[in-house]
Amino acid sequence: MNVQEHDMYASFKQKLFDWFLGEKDFSDLSRVMQAVIVLLKEEFKLLEVTFYLLNPLKKIFHPEATTNRSIQSNPERYGIPFDERLKKGLDEVLVTENGDGTKTVQFSLYFSEDSLGLIRFQFPEDWFIRDEFIGKIQKDFSKIFDKIRKISQILNEEKRYEQLHRAATKIHSSMNIDDVLEEIVRTLKEVYPSFTCHLFLSHDSSTHRDLPIKLLSYENEDEHMGAMQAYVTGQIQLEDSLASKKSIIYAPIKGAQGIYGVIEMIAPTIMVLPKSEIRFISLLANTAGSALENAKLYEQSKRLVADLQLINETIHHLNTNLRFQDALQFMVEKIKTSFAAEEVGFVMIQGNERKILPGSTPFFHSRDAKAYIDFVLHRIQCSRDTLFLGDAKINVQSGVVFRSLMAVPMMRGMMKGVAIVLHREAYHFSFDMFKLLQSLIHHSTLAFTNAVLREELERMVITDRLTNLYARHYLDERIKRSMEEDGLGTFILIDIDNFKKINDTYGHQIGDEIIIQVANIIKANIRENDIGARWGGEELAVYLPKVSLNAGISIANRLVQKVREQTNPPVTISCGVSYWKKNCSDSVKELFNRADEALYTAKRTGKNRVVVQEY
């Protein structure tokens, strides 16, 4: 190196050192190298300088920094193919005469196995610097650019890890899944602003926010094969699409207990990520997985507490001596509210017959429900069978199509049936909802059974065993309550004529049959809220609350006629009628006595008739 070259190079190194000391940000490699080549151009009186970096996937040296405005405006056009000729000349300094009074110098800058650079600059033909000096520039510039590149990488990694630390601190401080997902997306966009990012999540994950989320589905496995492989294997997957000229990275979102989704990162061009970058992406995904797992566990614990509260409150309410129908209606409303269900039905199985229980939603009483009930009963054969379908394929001829279906058997003691829950949207119910429904039905079935048994016991206590009419004591209680609450009422006392003769002629068994026949005629000819009772022996009674005397006489005459026409062997009855009304001094005993006197008169004056005894 001669004196002039030495002085020029010393001046360049001094200014480079001053620039280096004054530079505050080495994180942007392109900007830093731009500053260096501008200094190189000025100090050595060059016409232009361009720095290239190798894209190994495209096998092209791409302009990374340049003083040439044409290259700056359209860098894609000025890429240098990494062909065999260039490979052989990487270790050499190539000087080319351009034929326009200028020369071009080209030499390589070797950084590492995955990083290769190229410097190309032009100078006038009368440039006084020798090839030996250019070799010195190549050697020193390799060191300069390598150190700048390493500083840039370290600073970038430091910046990214600071971003990762901030993101980790923030997402781990939140126990809300939506907040965690939003922070993951924000961090990805901040760290990789030129990438397009999506989150692949499973069906049991949902968010109400506008986030770039896709559902992991085996139905679209071919379309997102990389995402599925990352989800299944737990390893980062890389894909390159030559057709769309992009690279895709799939990073599994892993926690300690499982994989919760996949991060999809789409690079704007085909690129090869260095191992350090892949490690960082993996760490970012694992941090996201840990935070998401914590949020899910917290949400799950809250949901379990809420589920237990729901079960406890429901069973406590069901065990407050509700009537069976009231208990069913309460249960239907609870399921509709808790599961956002559209239709809820309880179907009882009695031999080969099925009965839709009152309280079920109106759909189950329609003709369209038959296909769903048939489908469920065909699939559920015993108490251990359950049904949970996210996208049910049930052949429905007409009407609304329900795609989400849950069915749980109700089998305990005399209870043999199934609870069916429906919604039109596919995958509306989660598996956690299904498990909660199973628990609710399991616990409520015992409460339903108790309600049925309690009502049956009550019915047995107040019902005459032979006639299935009400017992005498229940009749007394109802008349007493009516006289306290109502404005009037009519009482009919009935006696089967010549009943002793029937027993003597046909036997006591036929006598009992006659009593049953007359009881059935009474039940068929009175209202649901009227009280038909067995008074004693062959005597029966009817109390008609809120019914006037004239209406009561008409009913009594109809009973006399029906008994005469419909009994076999034919018998007749005699009826004594009494009544009461408000503001008249009266009692249950006096009401009975007047009816008894009227019945005695009817028997004494020819039988088969109705007699009224007024006040």
Around 369, how many Cα atoms within 13 Å sit in the side-chain half-sphere? 20
The sheet that has 415-423: what strands, in order across it?
Answer: 353-356, 343-350, 415-423, 404-412, 387-389
**The length of the chain, given as a count of residues:** 615
CA distance 490 to 479: 10
- Catalogue the active-site residues: 538
CA distance 580 to 489: 6
C-alpha closest to that of 535 among 473, 489, 604:
473
Q: Are 363 and 371 in contact (CB under 8 A)?
A: no
Return the sign of the alpha-carbon dihedral for residues 347, 350, 354, 358.
negative
Angle at 533 between CA 528 and CA 537, to 5 degrees: 155
Q: Are 439 and 311 in contact (CB under 8 A)?
A: yes
Q: Are 200 and 212 in contact (CB under 8 A)?
A: no
Provide the residue type at 245 as one letter.
Answer: K
Structure tokens at 197: 């990012």
CA distance 129 to 5: 7
CA distance 403 to 216: 20
Structure tokens at 118: 């190229």
